Amino acid sequence: MVATSFKFIDLFAGIGGIRIPFDKLNGECVFTSEIDEFCQKTYKANFGDMPDGDITKISPKDIPDHDILLGGFPCQAFSIIGRQRGFADTRGTLFFNIEEILREKMPKAFLLENVKQLYTHDGGRTFSVIEKTLQKLGYNVHSTILNALDFGVPQKRERTYIVGFLDKKVQFDFPVGNKPYDLLDVLEDDRDVSKTYQASEYIVRKRKDAVKGKPPNPSIWHENKSGNISALPYSCALRASASYNYLLVNGRRRPTEREMLRLQGFPDKFKIVVNYTQTRKQAGNSVSVPVVESVAKSMIAAMSLKKEVKQRKRA
């Protein structure tokens, strides 16, 4: 067995989308926290670990020492789909639980993920609070917005990524995505998809009447909150709480559980152990695995390079 090269913790873990790349990079997950019982079930089935529950009830002192903290902290408080209440929303204040853990454990690095709107929420003041809080802890902080479409995933999903290093001499650059995507890699053959995924004749007819121009084939048809229909060769961002028909494959049927997970870059070996409603929610709340993998590789490479430089100097 190859020895693990670093230890990490997985906070607000969902179904483990952030964990997958760090496992692949030979990391060891020493602690997981996730409050949703259905996510816990999926996480346990795929990783063998049952996540601890509510992070607000766990003392930072009781969390194992680790090298990297991972946290896709709840985004509803900052999302354009929600009411964007930010720190006025109890979910928004969960960032400060991350702060407490960082203060107590002082890991070498962290990776945080949230919605694109985190940058602009409250005129940029929310992000400023987060950035300054992390800097006051002693971290060199890097942030950017990355789109899953640029990393080979046929889903327009723009998210804020925040990376920090305790060693300020670490040189880090976010990856630049330039990988093509293909919706055919995601979609299952319609002949293999149950008719239960088929939208009603009324919905199908309504979409066809509303779409403009000739839709690409294949395509995913999206209805936004204003009722406008777009047919695109990729999916708009998966959402946990949207209507059941807001995304339709080729304007006819809802995406299957496996298709939704593929749209987030999860491997086909990932086990589905909950019903459609919960899988849909889990996929909508998850991260784009290939994006995280690219960021993770850049982080580990930067940290390893710094380590190698120190070793050469000692020699």
- Residue 69 in contact with residue 11, Cβ under 8 Å? yes
Place of tokens 């084939």: 217
Place of tokens 């602690």: 31
Output the DSSP codes for 205-274: HHHHHH--SPPPSS-EEEE-TT--EEEESSEEPP-SSS-TTSEEETTTBPPPHHHHHHTTT--TTS---S
Instruction: Establish whether 75 is a catalytic residue.
Output: yes
Number of Cβ within a 10 Å radius of residue 14: 23
- Residue 42 in contact with residue 275, Cβ under 8 Å? no
> In angstroms, rounded to a whole number, what is the distance separating the alpha carbons of residues 186 and 263?
7
In three-state secondary structure terms, 53 is coil
Of the candidates 8, 52, 58, 45, the residue with the CA atom closest to the CA atom of residue 30: 8
* 3-state DSSP percent of the chain in helix, strand and coil, to 5: 40, 20, 40
Number of Cβ within a 10 Å radius of residue 184: 10
> In angstroms, rounded to a whole number, what is the distance separating the alpha carbons of residues 185 and 234?
11
Query: Of 29, 39, 75, 236, which one is the catalytic site residue?
Result: 75
> In angstroms, rounded to a whole number, what is the distance separating the alpha carbons of residues 64 and 62?
6
Catalytic site residues?
75
